[in-house]
Chain A
């Protein structure tokens, strides 16, 4: 690696060439302030709080966008730099609502942390905050334009990672705003509610719609039997809310903490994930045998479903009719579980803990009540659950281990990996292989569908037939595959699509600070959960076997179809990318 010699604050050091001043300073023990900078995004250099002096340059330079060069003399600690950085932060604060105490982002706000770090004592500029209305139009997200600092991080995710393209900066000068066109509400545009913008936002300008009050109310209602289900990926992210390393596996402590909150039963979405594999796997086989529409595309990810409904409705026949695990769980809780526990389904309140903001929308879809009762009553994101634990003073890290309740808490390793990109595919292949061939699968790991590559194509030998499969995560990558299908160029049989980069472990409801590096850690965590599981194939889950014996009869049975399958809606308004 080539290096260059530079001077930072009079100290001469060697650093790799082709890195920014910001990166070079970091290597030498100085964290320069930043707001618009995001490790997974391209350099924007618009907040300017990272300004430093470089000898020979008349003005200061942005350290995030300026590369080091041989002999460069950098000063980060001069009065001029200090005045500049403090003044810029002052200017931002003059146009920012000073509501930190009641802001959902509060302690985790990058602006607040920066103001604290700089010891900002007063804002001399005239307060110019306007009172623009909040966008409360969807069940998933709240957009507060008053708090926006115009860094552009949300718009970049929306346009370049997801290619949904509904958030963009409009107008200019003081009128600049990062909004959908015409300042429309999210419900009126093709927003898929994935919440990646929430993870990108450095402040509290866009966040999940908080449903904790709904859950507190249910928990406090003695007439309600409140059950909770936890999505696979939450077990490897919730500990981050309590300062544990990214990807830490916290399943047992999570169960104990949920019990402390007062849930009557602590169940697992993984149970429903195994059920999904049974249904979806058989749907695939049925389509193969009867000449149905192929490739079959997975349907677990509600952001993805909303995306295809908006942008590629003509491809909806490709999508599996299976509900997502969250909804399958709800439907089972209010039918099968009600029956075996002898509880009136109208008294059962189903809470789900999801890594996802779109799940709130999914639970609210009008069709999701096939048992006669709403499948899921309240959806919490990982962040909201973290807040509830903190509210109750739960010392998460020192809790004793707990275990999920039976039977809706019993699951396999195949279900756990639903939370990572490629996981549904891998879990399905484990089951489909054994069902088709009648043989035991020797090597369970399908490494061809693992990893962070945006589109992963692989093929599997199913009893002599080579079956081509593909996996995409992040909607920009999903779009590539959809374009290929639309053009008739995709000869895949089965395709997994997850809306968010990395899959659910990278979902928009996950803890702040979800970067690609963190995503990799969580992926490792879930593969470890699978590795250590006693059962690693969905069809071997005894609780699922019993469910079919006692209640559903068989995959794709009429009961299954009524409760576990769903329909889609063409939401196309000619959105094009």
Chain B
């Protein structure tokens, strides 16, 4: 972990590296989309700041997770335009399909479901974001289809082997 972090920090300017960008890069490098305690320690060491400060910054931002997440992140927009456009039905359908609630991870560790404040896609609400891609004007059926294809894709890539947590 120290080596991975040191490389990221080194590329970004060592002690002058922007902490928030370091945290995001370390998170992106983690298959489970999070910043581990070991990583927090490694960042503190590489940047010569206290762990408490690294943790504090990381804990403030909702796009940074300090707990392991799924390999894929589904974020459901919770702002008023999406709410009006039927977010609840989308959320219900996705929760049912995945068998988890918002804030949880599927048992196979593949997918995390999260609520976000606003995706800035109110012109096509209701909207969700799957990893880096936004899907708008969704119906519950379409949302379920997106998840199924995500699963299928993964299973094809990994010959159906379980993901493990």
**Complex A–B touching at CB under 8 A:** yes
- List the interface of chain A (C-beta within 8 A of B): 159, 165-172, 180-182, 189, 574-577
* Chain A residues, CB < 8 A from B51: 181, 575
Whole-angstrom distance between the Cβ of A315 and the nearest chain B Cβ: 17
Whole-angstrom distance between the Cβ of A441 and the nearest chain B Cβ: 44
- The answer on a CB contact under 8 Å between B55 and A577 is no
One digit per residue, 1 when the CB lies within 8 angstroms of any chain A CB and 0 when it does not, for chain B 57-82 equals 00110000010000000000000000
C-alpha gap A181/B44 in the complex (Å): 12
Number of B residues contacting the other chain (C-beta, 8 Å)? Answer: 17
Asked if B37 CB lies within 8 Å of chain A CBs, one says: yes
Interface residues of B in 36-67 (CB under 8 A from A): 37, 40-41, 44-45, 48-56, 59-60, 66
Pairs A-B, 8 closest by C-beta atoms: A181-B55, A165-B50, A168-B52, A170-B59, A168-B56, A171-B59, A181-B52, A170-B56
- Give B44's nearest chain A residue, CB to CB: A576
* Chain A residues, CB < 8 A from B59: 170-172
Partner of A576, one of B37, B45, B55, B60: B45
C-alpha gap A153/B60 in the complex (Å): 19
Partner of B45, one of A165, A180, A574: A574
Partner of B41, one of A169, A171, A574, A577: A574
- List the interface of chain B (C-beta within 8 A of A): 37, 40-41, 44-45, 48-56, 59-60, 66
- The answer on a CB contact under 8 Å between A165 and B41 is no
- The answer on a CB contact under 8 Å between B50 and A171 is no
Main secondary structure of the interface of B (DSSP, over half): helix
* Chain B residues, CB < 8 A from A159: 50
Partner of A168, one of B40, B53, B66: B53
Partner of B40, one of A166, A181, A189, A575: A181
* Chain B residues, CB < 8 A from A169: 56
19 pairs of residues in contact across A and B, judged by CB atoms under 8 Å: A168-B50, A168-B52, A169-B56, A170-B55, A170-B59, A170-B60, A172-B60, A180-B52, A181-B55, A182-B37, A182-B55, A574-B41, A574-B45, A575-B51, A576-B45, A576-B48, A576-B49, A577-B49, A577-B50
Answer whether A165 and B53 are a contact pair too, CB < 8 Å, given A181-B40, A574-B41: yes
Q: Which of B49, B50, B52, B55 has the most CB of A within 10 A?
A: B52
Whole-angstrom distance between the Cβ of A168 and the nearest chain B Cβ: 4
* Chain A residues, CB < 8 A from B45: 574, 576
* Chain B residues, CB < 8 A from A189: 52
C-alpha gap A180/B37 in the complex (Å): 13
Answer whether A575 and B50 are a contact pair too, CB < 8 Å, given A170-B55, A182-B37: yes
Whole-angstrom distance between the Cβ of A306 and the nearest chain B Cβ: 16
